[in-house]
Structure 1
Amino acid sequence: MSDHLQGEAHPGVEAAPAQTRGFRLNHCMLRVKDPEASLRFYSRVFGMSVLRRLDFEEMNFSLYFLGCLEADDQVPEETAERTTWTFSQSGLLELTHNWGTEQQQGRIYHDGNAEPQGFGHICFSVPDLHAAVAWFDANDVEFIKRPDQGKMKDVVFVKDPDGYWIEVVQPDLMSRVGK
């Protein structure tokens, strides 16, 4: 028996089958209208780096895999090795650009929060929520909810250039939310 928590028990939860050992969530994908605007936003505002770009000319789209790198991360320079390394990471954001969408007017993708609801948001944790809010204000980030608004205090929601919601939390402040 393990000495550490293997997850919470809830109806519908089954013990992880041995066949799933080594599975991990690598990335989630958002479609973006203008990759330059989105890359500027995610690199400047959230400190993400493009780990790998893949172009699919025959299908007219590009994929950008972004991550928050640590100082000691060893990102391979050689392209094939970097591709393999990218697909072995956790917590990446894939931005998909369908060529030509940057020419369309306004926001073109459903954010999942308007009707009909579906996808909700991605989330970043930060070391200092109030410093992050000041940083977002300094960078003209669009807010949905500030930390003192609504029923859930100390939780922030902002929008990216395509209108997708981003939750921002400070981990040690989350211990008092929910039951």
Structure 2
Amino acid sequence: MKFTFVHNNINVLDLEKSVDFYKKALGLVETRKKEASDGSFILIFLGDETTPHKLELTWLRDRTEPYDLGDNEIHIAFTTDDYEAAHALHKEMGCICYENEAMGIYFIEDPDGYWIEILPEKR
């Protein structure tokens, strides 16, 4: 028996703001969109155009309060082929929330408070 990663899901409060963030910060592109016939939810799948793995953003019409992420330290991680340029972009965007220079990594925070780890492609 074999299992293959397909996607990770996060719920977002402002879908347009989140899609814009992931496009600008990480270069992700929309690969698929599904809207409920009653308008109760929208799913947008984002991809990196390199791997088959997707990030699914879920927007729920009736959700008005920010999501409580609690003490959850789950995160998504990305490598980049130009760590210095990525760091400069994220610094300009004001989304760097934690840096560990000794490990050569940093984290950015999306509009809903989810953390994304950024690593150089070759370490």
Using the size of structure 1 for normalisation, the TM-score is 0.62
Name 2:12's counterpart in structure 1: 32
For structure 1, list consecutive stretches of 5 or more residues without a partner in the other structure: 1-18, 71-88, 174-179
Q: Which runs of at least 4 in structure 1 moved beyond 3 Å after TM superposition?
A: none
For residues 121-173 of structure 1, give each alpha carbon's deviation from its aligned partner in whole angstroms, at most 9, with x where no partner exists.
Answer: 001110122211101112222x221242xxx5211111000000100101312
| Contact persistence 1:50–1:64 (CA under 8 A) | yes
CA distance, structure 1, for counterparts of residue 77 and residue 53 of structure 2: 10
Partner residue of 2:80 out of 126, 150, 159 = 126
Q: 1:92 aligns to what?
A: 54
Which residue in 2 is equivalent to 1:57?
37
Name the structure, 1 or 2, with higher relative contact order (CA <8 Å, separation 6+). Answer: 2
- Give the residue type in structure 1 aligned to 2:119: V
Q: CA RMSD in A?
A: 1.9
Residue 138, structure 1, aligned to residue 92, structure 2: yes
1:128 aligned partner, one-letter code: D
For residue 162 of structure 1, give the secondary structure of its aligned residue in structure 2: coil
Aligned AA (2:68): H
- Is residue 45 from structure 1 mapped to residue 25 from structure 2 by the alignment? yes
User: In the alignment, which of 92, 96, 109 is matched to residue 159 of structure 1?
Assistant: 109
1-side partners of 2:86 and 2:27: how far apart? 12
Aligned pairs, number: 123
Post-superposition offset of 1:52 = 0.7
Structure 2 counterpart SS, 1:133: helix
User: Is residue 69 of structure 1 aligned with residue 49 of structure 2?
Assistant: yes
* Distance of 2:48 and 2:52 partners within structure 1: 10
**Structure 2: gaps spanning 5 or more residues:** none
Kept in 1, the 8 Å contact 2:39–2:61? The answer is no
Return the alpha-carbon distance in structure 2 between the equivalents of residues 34 and 162 of structure 1.
8
- Counterpart selection for 1:110 from 68, 76, 81: 68
> SS state of the match for residue 161, structure 1?
coil
- Alpha-carbon distance in structure 1 between the residues aligned to 2:85 and 2:43: 31
